[in-house]
Structure 1
Amino acid sequence: MGDAVALVTGASRGIGRSIALALAADGVAVGLLSRDGEALTAVTREITEAGGRAAWATADVGDAAQVGDAVAHLTAQLGTPDLLVNNAGRIDAEVPIWEADVEQWHGVVSANLLGSFHVSRAVLALMVAAGRGRVVDIVSGAGARDWNVTSAYTATKAAQIRLVGHVHEAGFDLGLRSFAIAPGTVETAMSTSMRLHAGRTDFTPVERTTDLIAAIARGELDDWSGRYLRVTNDTPQTLRAHGAPQGLARRFGVLPWGQDDPLATETLVPPRT
């Protein structure tokens, strides 16, 4: 992909590591960001030994100052990112909200929502100045529907989907494209630690996520900017075959009860297509 540059958060392990390796194999220079410098060094070595280009920086994405320093370091090494993947995240205990641990709840909000905000704020300003860029937030099916546990995780993933819509509306005319991708249940340390997935064997291959992100990086799915994509149902091929979605399809919102619901005729900001 020529001189394309990507920045991937949470790149030291799990889905983030797989995304970084796949982008590097596709010819993208990759900036790696997480809190674990030792693990990032190993991922960087794996990329460079395969002939790719990578740089790394450590930061707690919940800390705006650390993120600013890390983004400055990575852009100095690689250039302005053409693609940002907000992947860093945590999950809280599988309990209802009245049993939630306050400190843990705050930590999940910091990593998932504030983390996405801090990194997006730093990187998208550079993209706007360059007149182009794409951003992917790794979200979850749990953020697109109601769930009875992990209230911090579901709330932050829903908020990330809304941020994707915000970037689409605010940045489309400035050359930005944004996407929310739910990766299904990938076999990672986080997913296998959950009671919900105890004994599970039918995990979603991570390649379905990396293939979709690679297609986004190549500009093949720009018609789907601002939309929610779920890799258990969507592939680059099916999305291209469908063509540009219309209206509020795959947008995050509240459904009216029918045509007689006042919400159905309420004046809303029309979505960009």
Structure 2
Amino acid sequence: MRALVTGASQGIGRAVALGLARAGFTVAVVARGARLLDDLVDEITGEGGRAVATAFDVTDYAAVAAGVHALELELGGLDLLVQAAGRIEDREVPPWEADPAQVKAVLDTNVLGAFHVARAVLPGMVARGSGRVVDLSSGSASKDSGRYAAYGASKAALFRLGGAIAAAGAEHGLSAFELSPGVVRTAMSTSMSQHADRTEWTDPEAVVEMVLAIASGRLDAWSGRFLRVGVDTPEALLAVQDRLDPAARRLVVAPYGPEDPLG
């Protein structure tokens, strides 16, 4: 099995890349900085795994397309894409006080960047008739908040993009999942004032466990849906997946009642 992990030089992306390699995956790791990627490849190969690295900025489609093409040539294709590249605003303010430049940077990375990578990777998966996409999502995608509006908007947009991949890709053997990792102790999460007093953090190994369960195909019934590490486990999801409501864990507008014409 061959996986590509974006945002792999640090944080959750790095933990997922290491976990996949330790589980036997050949891992292609991507981020903007080559030095940290080289360190990660050295660690994986030092443990007996196989990894290759390509540095590019996900907001630059030409660079993404060239980088993904080179990785596919080297690995012979990709079976799993984990989109962990992401950013958040520097300040926790209401939308009307947000810095437009920061809002654009967040949307460019979290939405346009994810689209760029998907656009480069998915044609190969379609041609081979199989593939899985895991988007690192957030609770901000599923509920309104007065804080970090650009980040929340970006994760909701990513959810809709993942849903489109799941819907259009089903007949081609593709699945897509929106996976909220809980609150892992990373440079991003510790910079957020809402976590300033937090003492309990999600174990990144629990994120790896969920990604591996998705990669195995056992959770394909959850394609197009929202999963949350720390609340969900692979076993709990497996136990209920044969009786899922069509709208369960999807990004939908709920009707106001049985008489609602949108219902």
In the alignment, is residue 251 of structure 1 matched against residue 234 of structure 2? Answer: no
| Residue 143 of structure 2: aligned partner | 145
CA RMSD of aligned residues (A): 0.8
Say whether 1:118 aligns with 2:116: yes
Distance 1:260 1:80 in 2: 49
Query: Residue type matched to 1:186 in 2?
Result: V
- The one-letter amino acid of 1:254's match is V
2:17 paired residue number: 20
Matched, 1:51 2:48: yes
Match of 1:172 in 2: 170
Unaligned runs of 5+ in 2: none
Q: Distance in 2 between matches of 1:229 and 1:206?
A: 15
Structure 1 segments unaligned to the other structure (5+ residues): 265-273
Match of 1:230 in 2: 228
User: Amino acid of the residue matched to residue 167 of structure 1?
Assistant: I
TM-score normalised by structure 2 residue count: 0.98
Q: Which amino acid aligns with 1:86?
A: Q
Q: CA deviation at 1:207?
A: 1.3
1:219 shift after superposition: 1.2
Structure 1 match to 2:192: 194
Q: In 2, Cα distance between the equivalents of 1:18 and 1:91? A: 19
What secondary structure does 1:243 align onto? helix
Q: Which amino acid aligns with 1:124?
A: L
Corresponding position: 1:64 with 2:38: no
Post-superposition offset of 1:117: 0.1
Match of 1:269 in 2: none
Amino acid at match of 1:208: A
Corresponding residue number in structure 1 for 2:99: 101
Matched, 1:9 2:13: no
SS in 2 for 1:239: helix
Which stretch shows the higher mean deviation, 71-80 or 212-221?
71-80
1:262 is displaced (CA, Å) by: 1.1
Deviations, residues 39-77 of structure 1 (Å, cap 9, x unaligned): 000000111111111100011101101111110121122
1:79 aligns with 2:76: yes
Alignment partners' CA distance in 1, 2:76 and 2:18: 19
Q: CA deviation at 1:100?
A: 0.7
Give 3-state SS (helix, strand or coil) of 2:238's partner.
helix
Aligned residues, how many? 261
Whether 1:220 and 2:218 are equivalent positions in the alignment is: yes
SS in 2 for 1:263: coil
Deviation at 1:196, TM superposition (A): 0.5
Q: After TM superposition, which residue ranges in structure 1, 4 or more long, deviate above 3 angstroms?
A: none
Distance of 2:171 and 2:245 partners within structure 1:
18
Residue identity over aligned pairs, in percent, reads: 50
Residue 262 of structure 1 aligns to a residue whose secondary structure is coil
Determine the structure 2 residue equivalent to 1:35. Answer: 32
- SS of structure 1 residue aligned to 2:236: helix
